[in-house]
Structure 1
Amino acid sequence: MNNSLIERIKNLPTSSGVYQYYDKHNKLLYIGKAKNLKNRIKSYFRIENDKILPNPSNSHRIQMMISQVDYLQTILVQNEQDALILENSLIKQLKPKYNILLRDDKTYPYIYIDMSEEFPTPAITRKIIKNKNVKYFGPYTSGSREILDSLYEILPLVQKKACSKGKKACLFYQIKRCLAPCEGKVNPTEYNKIILQAIYLIQNKNKLLNELESKMLTLSEKMKFEEAMIYRDRIKKLQGVENFSSIDLAKLYNLDIFALSYEGKNAILSKLFMRDGKIISSNFEHIKSEYAFDENSIYEQAIINHYKEEIPLPPDQILIPSIDSKESIIELENFLQNHCKRKIQILTPHRGDKKNLIELAFKNANEILRLQSSRSYAEDTLLIELKELLQLNEIPFTIEVFDTSHHCGTNIVGGMIVYKNMNFTKENYRRYILQGTDEYSQIKEMLTRRANDFCKTPPPNLWLIDGGKAQINLARDILQSVGVDIDIIGIAKEKIDAKAHRARGGAKDTIYTFETSFHLKPSDKRLQFLQKLRDEVHRYAITFHRQKKQKDMQKISLLEQKGIGKASVKKLLDFFGSFEAIENANPDEIKEVLSKKTNH
């Protein structure tokens, strides 16, 4: 470590802020926050005889990271609250080597009923509805739609909000699914009893399941097997928290519980949601790291991700097994106060019901980790071999793969698929409509758009591009422009007569890195893994291309039906650029374009 770093540490400010450690290759190693930057950063180092060493009282992971630090940067902020939020944002955008990155929690759905309405109807929301008379139930990590559909099938609720404002009973009344308040066949007092039944079923899952099972058996007895299967699948979905059905505490606790279990390179963050003394839903996140897991950092990040926006039914308390300091708890509680608009305590219980709930969350995390361990080991082994083969900076636990598709320069699209935690995560796939006229500009447009989105969706460990050296260099320039350092490789098929050779098991694919290019035997599992990723993004991109082409064919057909021939359609597309622009053009513009003579 150099003298300039020693001088920098000696002259650090004492204000709140965020610090960033870099190695001698200008690669970002770590991002942290501090109420007092000078005290916090000095705690990482030990200076002896004008030499700077890692502080031996820190963890092995931190010591290993500090041994690579060449220089540091700081960003000053007003207070520790701002530092907390900025740290979380920068970790997501820049993905430092030694920080563990949790995915952003999606906003879970809630069932709500607006009790101020004359004839209330249950519905789903992910946001707060500004009305004091709204009752919320949730959050539901899964099954909210199934609960709602079941209520409308079991009880004669007003099926649509517009129905109560109608003047004549509809089909729902005829099939006994509604009591027709539109014709005054039920008054608000009688209807309120039905709403209370709905609330009872929402709050008592076993009663709801009994009702569904009864309907399923009745349909089976009537030989209506397809309808019975719908109920069977719905019951299966709603049994997701069956393990917790016996948990019904006498005290009406409203708690969110987090517990982390880890082994090797894999961790499970378990989340339980308790309302009115009952655990109503659960979820987990699979986390992978090449280095040791920092529990405090993970719990902090999990809380920030989950409560970054005001939620309809926040807990009174959050239970976590441990956190490093009282100061960290106060920071997080202030964050919750600002974002949830109410005081939420963070507790680390050591006895009683709440300690038992922590143990329950641990038990479930351990079981999920055990079930995934054998598959994780095989997957991790392959990824480690891939890291060594390609000389990557880190194990590629998350991979984004890109490809483009078009036909003779028309319907140009791109696709990005994501491989994470041993699966294709299709909810993270992205489609791009592109404007570029050549393959290079198309891939540039797609990668630039993805890189600009890192602030919303964090970068992966690796970009895999269907292409060669030129595409890799392009990707590196784009990543450098946004300050992100991740690994990039390319894979390209052998070309015969300028066309990709796709013979199964016989194609000589070339793998490209910054330094070199090489071939692997068709039987090599590392090559087969990369081919699987490349083939999936190719399928995804070409499917989107075909869908877009089909839509355009339909639009051409509609224009031809209006008396505009194919030559005229081409002339309009050449001028306006898209069917949307043609639709938005006024008739005089279209007439003027069609009247122009084509230059040859």
Structure 2
Amino acid sequence: MNLEEKLKQLPSDAGVYQYFDEAGHLLYVGKAKVLKNRVKSYFKFTPQLRPSEKLGPRIFKMISEVKSCEWIVVPNEHDALILENSLIKQLKPKYNILLRDDKTYPYIYVDLNEDFPRLEITRKVLKGANIKYFGPYSSGARDILDSIYETFPLVQKKACIKGKEACLFFQIKKCLAPCENRITKEEYAKILNNSMEYIYNKSKLLTKLKLKMQEYSNDFRFEEAMKIRDRIKTIEKSEIKTGMDLATNENLDIFAIKNSKTKAVIVRMFIRDGKLASSSHDFLKVTLEDNEDFDFNEAYKRTLINYYSNEMPIIPKEILLANEIDEVEDMEEFLKTKFSKKINIINPKVGKKKDLMQIALNNCDELLRIDSAKSSNTLYEEIQKLFNLSQTPLRVESFDNSHMMGQATVGAMVVWDNDKFIKSDFRHYNLESHDEYSQMREMLIRRVESFDKNPAPDLWIIDGGSTLLKLAYDIVQSVGVNLDIIAIAKEKIDFKAHRAKGAAKDIVHFKKEGEFTSIKLLTSDKRLHFVQRQRDEAHRFVINYHKKQKRAEDKQISLLNIKGIGEAKVKKLLLYFGTFENIKSATIENLKEVLNEKDSILISNHFNQN
């Protein structure tokens, strides 16, 4: 069935549609209130099927590549919006803008139901009618909280209030000992209210900290002064200066997006009680042709869905956007369904809200300027060209696995983004498979299954040869993900990996024009150095975890040795059962598949007795 015949079968239901090119690669995922109307609007049907003349350059180019279309019908438009976002994250279509999930931001909170409340940090919406939140904070929440406790004599630890006598904090004048009734609830409340004023008014807090730093320095307490200095830097770095006060108690969320030819930046600002609480930003990769415009509509839609898919302790009155977008009503309906509250999305044209938006846009310009000055994509572009990659590999995930005769079988993934390793995104995998091929397969499948929560990167680097490269491609192609993959393996001499003195002779395997090939680069090549650096970090990370797991398992082995079961028998058991947990739960009959009846009874009795 050709594309025109397929389009005639489109239903009048809400749903998600997918466009594919001639090779079956996914080009675009979109949602529609009425599939038939939305999808047909992209095309002109007479005198022959072709892209509509009303389309912008980018979408016109996409529709020119479309050779087939599929769709999924859902009950309503809200479900379509959620499914669309999930599919984009999982499948990484060529023409959709992909944003990584917004993390859950921390909040500072205080439970005013308590007699002597403490300020604490949470990432969850807590139960309770009289809880006050401050935030969200992209960074600096812990530094702000530590600074408050440094400055005000509040209850320093949860356990303090339960004690019946004053502790060290009272002696060093950091607490007024409510545990001994040395301060009334009313007096404590005044100190608490004063401390809370400093959370939003960071300039007052920073002034206090600078005085404290000077005090420590004058007393030759230089280590403590340095801690305060570092805390000041973190708090200052997390803040955009606005110099504005709305003179209202409004809660507003502000989003501004600007782009260059190669990158776009999203700036978020959070106004709480009329004052700037915090701000954050993220970059996303952009590739624009000379005649293409950046799709702000798509970018804002992805930004809002990703951010507001999380639970929110503080719901804004309004959301301010730096650009007007289509389908505002759809996004407002999404928010109303999520939070059971009407939240207006506006593009302010006048007044203080317009001035706030301009501050956000100015920060976008500055972030793009700094990023352009400090980084060059030349190396990434050379890697893209050399290995025939479909996109510039700015975000890279690298994989390695480790085991010793089936013991402590583990895998690891390390992540490179924005010119550095993102250690918070590193992952360990405890694996059950017994050979390296199956271990890599198990690890990559588990990673693919998590694409809906953590979208695919630009490039995978596999520690291994052509066999593992083909395996990785089979896995990603089975789920239709657009993802480049290369593999790096040491040169082998007499079937053994060879490392020359001072330089590793590695071979990089990749796919070019549908065929698997390989290249051996000079040991001085910077492109090889980049790939080796990723591989080596994955190897370091997995080996450290392997050692940790093996130490834990060695303890269990030593316990078995006491009972008369030697290490050789333990290794046999591990090769057969895979894990200690499986050995523990095995019956005598199962154990007899590996060992004699006497040993099997001994092991079974040992675990049952313990």
Q: Does the pair score TM above 0.5? A: yes
Aligned match for 2:255, one of 255, 258, 261: 258
1:367: Cα distance to partner? 0.5
The residue that corresponds to 1:310 in the other structure is: 311
Q: 1:421 to 1:58 in 2, by over 3 A?
A: farther
Give yes or no for contact 1:452–1:482 (8 Å, CA) kept in 2. Answer: no
Structure 1 unpaired stretches of 5+: none
In structure 1, distance between residues paired with 2:315 and 2:372: 33
The amino acid across from 1:212 in the alignment is L
The amino acid across from 2:36 in the alignment is K
1:320: Cα distance to partner? 0.5
Question: Given the alignment of the two structures, is residue 518 of structure 1 paired with residue 516 of structure 2, yes or no?
Answer: no
1:252: Cα distance to partner? 2.9
In structure 1, distance between residues paired with 2:230 and 2:238: 15
- The aligned length equals 586
The residue that corresponds to 1:37 in the other structure is: 35
The residue that corresponds to 1:155 in the other structure is: 152
The residue that corresponds to 2:608 in the other structure is: none
1:145: Cα distance to partner? 0.8
2:27 partner SS: strand
The amino acid across from 1:227 in the alignment is E
1:244 partner SS: coil
Q: 1:405 to 1:344 in 2, by over 3 A?
A: same
Deviation larger for 287-296 or 454-463: 287-296
Q: 1:582 to 1:10 in 2, by over 3 A?
A: closer
In structure 1, distance between residues paired with 2:167 and 2:496: 60
In structure 2, distance between residues paired with 1:25 and 1:276: 54
1:226: Cα distance to partner? 0.8
The residue that corresponds to 1:335 in the other structure is: 334
In structure 2, distance between residues paired with 1:433 and 1:341: 41
The residue that corresponds to 2:14 in the other structure is: 16
Give yes or no for contact 2:296–2:325 (8 Å, CA) kept in 1. Answer: no
The residue that corresponds to 1:324 in the other structure is: 325
The residue that corresponds to 1:366 in the other structure is: 365
1:107: Cα distance to partner? 1.0
Give yes or no for contact 1:241–1:280 (8 Å, CA) kept in 2. Answer: no
The residue that corresponds to 1:595 in the other structure is: 602
1:249 partner SS: coil
1:507: Cα distance to partner? 3.1
Deviation larger for 18-27 or 502-511: 502-511
Question: How does 1:91-240 map onto structure 2 within 5 Å?
Answer: 91-240=88-237
The residue that corresponds to 1:528 in the other structure is: 529
Identical aligned pairs, as a percentage? 50
In structure 2, distance between residues paired with 1:251 and 1:571: 70
Q: 1:307 to 1:500 in 2, by over 3 A?
A: same
Question: Given the alignment of the two structures, is residue 276 of structure 1 paired with residue 273 of structure 2, yes or no?
Answer: yes
Deviation larger for 139-148 or 573-582: 573-582
Q: 1:506 to 1:113 in 2, by over 3 A?
A: closer
Give yes or no for contact 2:557–2:570 (8 Å, CA) kept in 1. Answer: no
| 1:517-570 CA distance string (max 9 Å, x none) | 22222233322222222222122222222232344445666x49x955782796
Q: 1:596 to 1:11 in 2, by over 3 A?
A: closer
In structure 1, distance between residues paired with 2:131 and 2:44: 57
Give yes or no for contact 1:109–1:144 (8 Å, CA) kept in 2. Answer: yes
Give yes or no for contact 1:573–1:579 (8 Å, CA) kept in 2. Answer: no
Deviation larger for 394-403 or 90-99: 394-403
In structure 2, distance between residues paired with 1:554 and 1:66: 61
Give yes or no for contact 1:336–1:344 (8 Å, CA) kept in 2. Answer: yes
1:264 partner SS: coil
| 1:17-44 CA distance string (max 9 Å, x none) | 1110001111100001112222221221
In structure 1, distance between residues paired with 2:562 and 2:272: 63
The residue that corresponds to 1:428 in the other structure is: 425
Q: 1:32 to 1:504 in 2, by over 3 A?
A: farther
| 1:122-149 CA distance string (max 9 Å, x none) | 1111111121111111111111111111
The residue that corresponds to 2:86 in the other structure is: 89
1:221: Cα distance to partner? 0.9
Aligned match for 1:418, one of 407, 415, 422: 415
In structure 2, distance between residues paired with 1:449 and 1:363: 41
Question: RMSD in angstroms over aligned alpha carbons?
Answer: 2.6
The amino acid across from 2:16 in the alignment is V
1:442 partner SS: helix
Deviation larger for 500-509 or 517-526: 500-509
The amino acid across from 1:298 in the alignment is A
In structure 2, distance between residues paired with 1:583 and 1:261: 58
In structure 2, distance between residues paired with 1:554 and 1:208: 50
Question: Given the alignment of the two structures, is residue 244 of structure 1 paired with residue 241 of structure 2, yes or no?
Answer: yes
Deviation larger for 333-342 or 264-273: 333-342
1:595: Cα distance to partner? 3.4
1:512 partner SS: strand
Q: 1:523 to 1:69 in 2, by over 3 A?
A: same
| 1:435-475 CA distance string (max 9 Å, x none) | 22211111111111111111111112222111112112211
In structure 1, distance between residues paired with 2:209 and 2:242: 17
The residue that corresponds to 1:4 in the other structure is: 2
In structure 2, distance between residues paired with 1:577 and 1:430: 21
Question: How does 1:484-503 map onto structure 2 within 5 Å?
Answer: 484-503=481-500
The amino acid across from 1:112 in the alignment is Y
In structure 2, distance between residues paired with 1:596 and 1:544: 28
In structure 2, distance between residues paired with 1:272 and 1:124: 20
Give yes or no for contact 2:140–2:238 (8 Å, CA) kept in 1. Answer: no
Q: 1:565 to 1:201 in 2, by over 3 A?
A: farther
| 1:321-359 CA distance string (max 9 Å, x none) | 22333xx11111111112223221100111111111111
1:275: Cα distance to partner? 1.0
Give yes or no for contact 2:563–2:602 (8 Å, CA) kept in 1. Answer: no
1:502: Cα distance to partner? 2.9
Give yes or no for contact 1:556–1:569 (8 Å, CA) kept in 2. Answer: no
Give yes or no for contact 1:259–1:320 (8 Å, CA) kept in 2. Answer: yes
The amino acid across from 1:21 in the alignment is Y
The amino acid across from 1:567 in the alignment is G
In structure 1, distance between residues paired with 2:262 and 2:392: 10
1:359 partner SS: helix
1:154: Cα distance to partner? 1.8
1:205: Cα distance to partner? 1.3
In structure 1, distance between residues paired with 2:116 and 2:249: 29
1:9: Cα distance to partner? 2.2
Q: TM-score, normalised by structure 2?
A: 0.90
Aligned match for 1:285, one of 282, 286, 290: 282
The residue that corresponds to 1:26 in the other structure is: 24
The amino acid across from 1:401 in the alignment is S
Give yes or no for contact 1:310–1:341 (8 Å, CA) kept in 2. Answer: no
In structure 2, distance between residues paired with 1:342 and 1:505: 64
| 1:238-273 CA distance string (max 9 Å, x none) | 112454152222233311111111111111111111
Question: How does 1:383-532 map onto structure 2 within 5 Å?
Answer: 383-503=380-500, 506-514=503-511, 515=515, 516-532=517-533
In structure 2, distance between residues paired with 1:580 and 1:122: 42
In structure 2, distance between residues paired with 1:170 and 1:233: 28
Give yes or no for contact 2:25–2:480 (8 Å, CA) kept in 1. Answer: no
1:170: Cα distance to partner? 2.3
1:414: Cα distance to partner? 1.0
Q: 1:470 to 1:577 in 2, by over 3 A?
A: closer
Give yes or no for contact 1:309–1:340 (8 Å, CA) kept in 2. Answer: no
1:55: Cα distance to partner? 2.0
